[in-house]
Structure 1
Amino acid sequence: MAILSSRRRRTRLVPELDDQDLGKLLKSLRATTRSGTIATTDLCVAQISRLLERDPGDWDRRAHRMGVLADFLAGSHLPRSWARREPRNANALVLYAWSEVARARSQGSLEDAAGVIDSCFRAAELAPEDPIPWVVALSAARLERWEQPQVFGVWNEVLVRDRWNREAYQNMLGYLTPEEAGSRIQVLEFVDALRARMPANVPCAATELTAQVLQYHSVLGRGGFEALVARNHWSQMMAAQALDRVAHIWVRPGSIPHARALADLNVLAYALMAADRRHEARAVFEALGGVVTPWPWQTGGDPLDEFEQAQRRASVGG
């Protein structure tokens, strides 16, 4: 048990990443959400409200906090209860909608898609400058396989309010893949257009590299000979250049200041190891300090095990 405890201290799944205030809230919620009493619900709602009301206008930080809370509360009655009790509270409506989207990711579809979309639109009316209701609507539209003109309409509503919203770009990237509603050509065009005008340190900076990891996973998923030589993906020009553009920049302190920077560094460490660029990956692992995100490591098995194995290989690599 001592060995296991030491292991978990070294590498750990930390949904809040480096957001200490969010981490404190999650710790408190873990201790209080199980009783299901009205008093407990009131306490949790008050704690959540206080955090979500901080940093107004920092859409990147708000989206990170809202998304983590939605994942955490996806199996709880609390978001629905809060939204019903405060139907004119935009935070309550968005948290309910996002928690339903989080639940649907494991179930395959939304139980009440119309209700979720309606909650997003009502929240957008109550907080017209906030992009997050539209971000959640985009996630729901993706799950429901809306036609592209409808999805791009929601996407444009996000961009008007937050030009470089990380969650929105991740959703559009997934939606445009051949596995969902698009094609490989559409993914390339989407990434090319973004790269041509995107500043280096914006929240969606990892979109290009994420696209390459998704393509790599697609090759692995075909099995057979293609999976055996999947590593060759990273020697192709576009994949290699995507890594070259960020490998030495992101490890510099403050180079990617957004809320989910540690998630982006996980993607970078994974891609560098997949490309057998171990020396460069070593610095990324050091910058991460043992903070692990489930994706993309979970593709190969238990994310903590996969991360640790990769970290060990990087430490002895050339």
Structure 2
Amino acid sequence: MVLSLLKKPRTVLAVISLMREAKRRGVEFEDLPEELVAPRLWGKVDVTRWGLVPHADVVVAGPADADLDAACAAATEGLWEPAARLMSSTWGDWERRNDVVRALADLTVKDDSFIRRWHDADPSSGDLGALRAVSLVYAAWEVRGSARAAQTSKEQFEGFGRLLSGAQAVAHRAAEALPEDPTPWMALLMVARGLSYDHDRFGRVWDELVERAPHHRASHVQALQYWCRKWRGSHELMCDFAIRAASTSPALAALPLMAATEGVGDDPNVWHTPMVRDALETLLPRLAAEGAATKALRSDRGLAIVALMIHKRNDEAVDQFRVLGPHADGEPWSSSFDNPRLGFLQARIEACKGARKPS
């Protein structure tokens, strides 16, 4: 991070000051607290004057979720029963089910003992099958890593493909066990991207998904990635998908903003297109009636913030930050920044600097 900052002349003196501070504290530059770094680099703005929480209170986490937190804590101890009960309780609430499955699957990347014990106790469980399918996809991506193909070894690709093939088989069995559940089909959408399904084969998976949950947000995000240029589509196909999906429900209004985030390298002016302007005008009224209780809502607000700031609507961006409070766990911070917390703090400072001064 230091070298990239030194390329910006306006920040050189601030970086030198921070490097001295790191030396004084006996730590690396990257280990300095973000609440110290952000004001030095982008301005000592008292964001609390705009009703925002202090920098030090910002966390890369969502609000406490007692049931999910308890299930995850038990899972780390190898106990599967709380996870099984929680997954059972999500039946029919597919967005909640997605949050639960993803949180539990994330744990299995480091330790899958709880899922193995669940399988020993109840191998025919459809809930277990749905979770295992997503867990195997996560494990596959962990093996592959995040580097470009040229920097990924043959052994990594082989492990990636092997685990995705396993996930594919498990997902199909879970879909048979739980024919109404979109979760196994969401797992297959992730598999489709990794195994490079052709468009017709992907379309068959997609049809099964939307038949069960036509506005399933997480699956639309997966499909958006499939249709982008770096996977099996193009900038045009991705944007077309985003626009069509957003037109079906206000709950999907942020998809064109995700497409803009993904496609800005293909079209530097994408944030100023009618696609973005129309999406923002649909998304903002919906957000006005919602809070920030789910990660999806926090992500939608974060994406709205980016669009608002690009269009110099900083007062409205500050309003969105006010609703987000201390939570920097959503988009775009979680995927577009090496340091999500620092990116969140920077955007808050810049939004306040561009907004009207508090009375």
CA shift, 1:107, in A, is 3.3
Matched to 2:277, the amino acid is A
Alignment pair present for 1:252 and 2:304:
no
Mapped partners of 1:152, 1:162: distance in 2: 15
2:319 pairs with one of 264, 269, 283: 283
1:25 pairs with one of 41, 48, 71: 71
Aligned to 2:5: none
Q: Secondary structure at the match of 2:276?
A: helix
Q: Quick one: structure 1 residues 292 and 255, their matched pair in 2 at CA, closer, same or farther if it must change by over 3 Å?
A: closer
Alignment pair present for 1:172 and 2:223:
yes
8 A Cα contact 1:94 1:123, kept in partner: yes
8 A Cα contact 2:295 2:330, kept in partner: no
Q: Quick one: structure 1 residues 182 and 242, their matched pair in 2 at CA, closer, same or farther if it must change by over 3 Å?
A: same
Q: Quick one: structure 1 residues 83 and 99, their matched pair in 2 at CA, closer, same or farther if it must change by over 3 Å?
A: same
Mapped partners of 1:11, 1:301: distance in 2: 16
Matched to 1:237, the amino acid is P
Mapped partners of 1:20, 1:277: distance in 2: 36
Matches within 5 A, 1:120-269: 120-196=171-247, 198-200=248-250, 202=251, 204-216=252-264, 218-219=265-266, 230=268, 232-246=269-283, 248-254=284-290, 260-269=296-305
Q: Secondary structure at the match of 2:89?
A: coil
CA shift, 1:113, in A, is 2.4
Mapped partners of 2:293, 2:214: distance in 1: 16
Residue by residue over 1:41-70, the C-alpha shift from the partner in whole angstroms, topping out at 9 and shown as x without a partner, is 2xx201111111113211111112111221
Residue by residue over 1:7-35, the C-alpha shift from the partner in whole angstroms, topping out at 9 and shown as x without a partner, is 78621122x55644223433x24xx62xx
Mapped partners of 1:152, 1:79: distance in 2: 34
Q: 5+ unaligned residues in a row in structure 2: which ranges? A: 1-24, 26-31, 36-53, 145-159
Q: Secondary structure at the match of 2:179?
A: coil
Q: Secondary structure at the match of 1:53?
A: helix
Mapped partners of 1:315, 1:87: distance in 2: 54
8 A Cα contact 2:291 2:297, kept in partner: no
Matched to 1:23, the amino acid is D
TM-score, normalisation: structure 2: 0.72
Q: Quick one: structure 1 residues 84 and 139, their matched pair in 2 at CA, closer, same or farther if it must change by over 3 Å?
A: same
Matches within 5 A, 1:1-20: 10-14=57-61, 19-20=65-66
CA shift, 1:270, in A, is 3.0
Aligned to 1:37: none
CA shift, 1:294, in A, is 5.6
CA shift, 1:259, in A, is 6.3
Q: Quick one: structure 1 residues 175 and 285, their matched pair in 2 at CA, closer, same or farther if it must change by over 3 Å?
A: same
8 A Cα contact 2:94 2:182, kept in partner: yes
Mapped partners of 1:46, 1:234: distance in 2: 46
Alignment pair present for 1:90 and 2:126:
yes
Q: What is the aligned-residue identity percentage?
A: 24
8 A Cα contact 2:140 2:163, kept in partner: no
Aligned to 2:96: 61
Matched to 1:245, the amino acid is T
1:51 pairs with one of 86, 89, 101: 86
Aligned residues: 290
Alignment pair present for 1:317 and 2:358:
no
